[in-house]
Amino acid sequence: MDWTLDKSRPMCPQICEIICLAIANGEFSAGDKLLSVRELALKTGVNPNTIQKSFEELERRGVVHSVRCSGWFVNESIDAAKAEVDSLRNKKTEEYLAEMEQLGCTGEEIIEYLMKAKEVKNERDS
């Protein structure tokens, strides 16, 4: 799991996004124990209070739950994590489309740019 954080964005939402993505992608399964607040704070270089707030936000969203004196665990259903990732994907797509429209692109041109970018990425990854 990549814990690279963007210093220009609030930390709490980024931590929530990374954890949801890891759950949705199968890096964590239902019932798995997450790193402790202290361990994750050390790993990310983020204040433990921020990590605690992130876990509490994920609990509010139904992604994780805490067990007293044991830590934080992925909920038995990972549907909430998948829904969070879908929501993030939709938001990012809408932002991209709005920016491209501000640049004067039509829907067809946006699709062309996406196809070209995908080809370049595939060539680079080969």
Residue-wise pLDDT tens digits, 79-91: 999 999 999 999 9
> 113 with 61, same domain?
no
In 61-90, which positions are buried (b, 16+ CB within 10 angstroms) versus exposed (e)? bebbeeeeeeebbbbeebebbbebbeebee
64-67 and 71-74 beta bridge pairing: antiparallel
Retrieve residue 54's tokens: 């992130």
Q: Which residue has the tokens 């964005």?
A: 9
Q: Is the pLDDT of residue 92 over 90?
A: yes
Structural domain includes residue 5: no
Kindly indicate the confidence band of residue 1, based on its pLDDT and cuts at 50, 70 and 90.
confident
Answer yes or no: do 70 and 19 share one domain.
yes
Whether residue 3 is contained in a domain is answered as no
Residues 16 and 75 both lie in one domain: yes
- Residues 40 and 65 both lie in one domain: yes
Structurally, how many domains does the chain consist of?
2
Q: Give me 108's structure tokens.
A: 């067809």
Residues 75 and 89 occupy one common structural domain:
no
Give residue 2's pLDDT: 82
Residues 34 and 60 in one domain: yes
pLDDT digits (tens, 9 = 90+) for 55-67: 999 999 999 999 9
Count H helices and E strands in the chain, helices first.
Answer: 5, 2
User: Is residue 100 domain-resident?
Assistant: yes
Based on the domain organization, do 67 and 100 belong to the same domain? Answer: no
Range of the domain at 103: 85-125
The predicted model scores a pTM of 0.82
